[in-house]
Chain A
Amino acid sequence: MLSYALKRLAILAVSLAVASLVIFLVVEVAPGDPASYMLGINARPDTVAALRTELGLDLPKWERYLAWIGGMLQGDFGTSYTYRAPVAQMVTERLWVSLPLALYALTLSTLIAFPAGIYAAARRGRAGDIGVMGATQLGIAVPNFWFAMLLVLLFALKLRWFSAGGFPGWETPLAALKALTLPAVALALPQAAILARVMRSSLIDILHEDFIRTARAKGLSRRQALWRHGVRNALIPVLTILGLQFSFLLAGAIIIEQVFFLPGLGRLIFQAITQRDLIVVESVVMLLVFAVISVNFLTDLAYAAADPRLRAAR
Chain B
Amino acid sequence: MSVSIGSKYPGESRQGRDGAAPRLLEIDRLSLHIHGRQILDDISLEIAPGEIVALTGESGSGKSMTALATIGLLPPAAETRGALRLGGADLLGLSEARLCALRGREIGMIFQEPMTALNPVMRIGDQVAETILVHKAMPRAAARVRAAEVLARVGLPAERVPPSRFPHELSGGQRQRVVIAMAIALRPRLLIADEPTTALDVTTQAQILDLLRDLVREERMGLMMITHDLAVVSEMADRIAVMKAGRIVEQGETRALFREMRHPYTRQLFEASRHRADLPGARAEAPLLRVDEVTRRYPGRRALFAPAPGLIAVNGVSFEIRRGERVGLVGESGCGKSTLARAILGLEPVQAGEITLDGMPVYSQGRPDPSVRRRVQVVFQDPYGSFNPRHKVGRLIAEPFHLLPDPPKGATREHAIAEALTAVGLQPAHAESYIHAFSGGQRQRIAIARALIIRPELVIFDEAVSALDVRVRAQILDLIADLSRQYGLTYLFISHDLSVVRGITDRVLVMRAGEIVEQGPTEAVFDRPGHCYTKSLLAAAPSLPQPPGGGESDAGQPEAR
Mark A residues whose CB is within 8 Å of B: 3, 6-7, 10, 209-211, 213-221, 224, 228-229, 232-233, 306-309, 312-314
Given contacts A219-B102, A219-B135, A313-B301, contact A211 B109 (CB under 8 A): no
Q: Write out the residue numbers on chain A whose beta carbons fall within 8 Å of the beta carbon of B131.
A: 218-219
**In the complex, which residues of chain A have a beta carbon less than 8 angstroms from the beta carbon of B116?**
209-211
Closest to B185 in A: A218
Docked complex: B83-119 residues within 8 A CB-CB of A: 96-97, 100-105, 108-109, 111, 113, 116-119
Q: Give the nearest-CB partner of A235 in chain B.
A: B121
Summarize A's interface: helix, strand, loop or mixed. helix
12 A-B pairs (CB sep. < 8 Å): A213-B73, A214-B111, A216-B73, A217-B73, A218-B103, A218-B104, A218-B182, A218-B183, A219-B100, A220-B100, A232-B121, A309-B168
Instruction: Say which residue of B101, B104, B105, B111 sits within 8 Å of A210 (CB atoms).
Output: B111
Contact B166 A217, beta carbon cutoff 8 Å: no
Which residues of chain B from 1 to 36 have a CB within 8 Å of any chain A CB? Answer: none
Contact status B105-A3, CB under 8 Å: no
Docked-complex contact B104 and A217, CB < 8 angstroms:
yes
Say yes or no for B232: interface residue by CB 8 A criterion. no
| Top 3 closest pairs, chain A to chain B, by CB | A219-B104, A218-B104, A217-B109
- The closest CB in chain A to the CB of B113 belongs to A210
**Chain B contacts of A215 at CB under 8 A?**
119, 130
Complex Cα–Cα for A10 and B305 (A)? 12
Asked whether B134 is an interface residue with its Cβ less than 8 Å from the other chain, the reply is yes
Residue of B96, B134, B135 contacting most chain A CB atoms (<10 Å): B134
What are the residues of chain B within 8 A of A10 when measuring CB–CB? 304
Q: How near does chain A come to B376, taking the closest CB pair, in angstroms?
A: 33
Collect the chain A residues with CB atoms within 8 Å of residue B119's CB: 211, 214-215, 229, 233
Contacts of B183 in A (CB 8 A): 217-218
Task: Determine the residue in chain B with the shortest Cβ distance to A308.
Answer: B166
**Docked complex Cα distance between A6 and B305 (Å):** 11
CB neighbours (8 Å) of B122 from chain A are: 229
Q: How far is the CB of B188 from chain A (nearest CB, A)?
A: 10
Question: Pick the contact of A214 from B102, B166, B179, B301 — CB < 8 Å?
Answer: B179
Whether B103 lies near A312 (C-beta < 8 A) is: no
Complex Cα–Cα for A307 and B97 (A): 31
- With an 8 A cutoff between CB atoms, is B120 at the interface? yes
Besides the known contacts A217-B108, A220-B104, A309-B120, 11 further A-B residue pairs in the complex with CB atoms under 8 A apart = A209-B116, A210-B117, A213-B111, A214-B117, A217-B73, A217-B183, A218-B183, A219-B101, A219-B105, A221-B96, A233-B119
Whether the pair B118, A221 counts as a contact (CB closer than 8 A) is no
Contact, CB under 8 Å: A218 / B169: no
In the complex, chain A residues whose CB is within 8 Å of the CB of B168: 308-309, 312
Q: Which residues of B contact A313 (CB under 8 A)?
A: 301
| A217-B109, A309-B166 known; A211-B118 Cβ under 8 A | yes
Inter-chain contacts of A308 with B (CB < 8 A): 120-121, 166, 168
Closest to B105 in A: A219
Picked from B96, B100, B120, B301, the residue with its CB within 8 Å of the CB of A211 is B120
* Given known A-B contacts A3-B304, A219-B105, A224-B134, A214 and B120 have beta carbons under 8 A apart: no
- Contacts A232-B121, A233-B119; is A3 near B303 (CB within 8 Å)? yes
Nearest-CB distance from B181 to chain A (Å)?
Answer: 11
Q: How far is the CB of B76 from chain A (nearest CB, A)?
A: 10
The answer for the CA separation of A79 and B103 in the assembled complex, in Å, is: 70
- Residue of chain B at shortest CB distance from A7: B304
Contacts A213-B111, A309-B166, A314-B301; A220 near B120 (Cβ below 8 A): no
B102 nearest CB neighbor, chain A only: A219
Report how far A312 CA is from B301 CA in the complex, Å.
11
Contact status A306-B121, CB under 8 Å:
yes
Between A211, A213, A312, the greatest number of chain B beta carbons within 10 A of the residue's beta carbon is seen for A211
